Amino acid sequence: MRQHKHHILFLCTGNYYRSRFAEILFNSLADKIGLPWRASSRGLALERGINNVGPMAVSAITALEALGVRHPDAVTRLPVQVAADDLEAADRIVALKQDEHLPLLEERFPEWADKVEFWHVDDAPGVLPQIEHEVMSLVARLRRPAHGGKIHPPN
């Protein structure tokens, strides 16, 4: 019998670096420990990623490989703009940087702005260890028995 999987959605601006790294790392960890969650990621403003070349930041791919995480399909897909359907399908939504992503949510999806958990990860080189820590902390929280169902962010 297949276990129902809950869905987590990671958001960043361009769906090129931070949210993609979080998605792929989360899915790898969830698979390894049998956590009934699956992640996806989207961007809030793909048009701002004018310097994003290729499907995903090479530094993020290299960091995932260094962690032993290999998901060829996940790293070759192009960035995806978030749509209302993506938000509605998620049991939990995490945006990687409150100062950057809350204004975009308020502008583009105001009804969702208060339903998102915000992390504080800058769009800067060297933040991947911080994202790794945040993802591992999230996985640990989701493993607790109290989190067996739909999880809502703190209000």
CA distance 113 to 103: 9
Q: How confident is the model at residue 155 (pLDDT cuts 50, 70, 90)?
A: very low
Region of poorest pLDDT, from 51-55, 115-119, 126-130, 133-137: 51-55
Higher pLDDT, residue 155 or 64: 64
Q: What is each CA distance from 12 to 5, 33, 143, 149, in whole angstroms?
A: 23, 26, 24, 25
Region of poorest pLDDT, from 7-21, 33-47, 56-70, 124-138: 56-70
Residue 58 clears pLDDT 90, i.e. is over it: no
Average pLDDT value over all residues in the chain: 88
Task: Give all domains of the chain, ordered by start, each with its CATH number.
Answer: 6-147 (3.40.50.2300)
CA distance 35 to 7: 11
Contact 22, 42 (CB under 8 A): no
Residue 4 clears pLDDT 80, i.e. is over it: no
Q: How confident is the model at residue 76 (pLDDT cuts 50, 70, 90)?
A: confident
Q: What's the one-letter identity of residue 94?
A: V
Residue 109 clears pLDDT 70, i.e. is over it: yes
End-to-end CA distance of the chain: give it in Å, rounded.
35
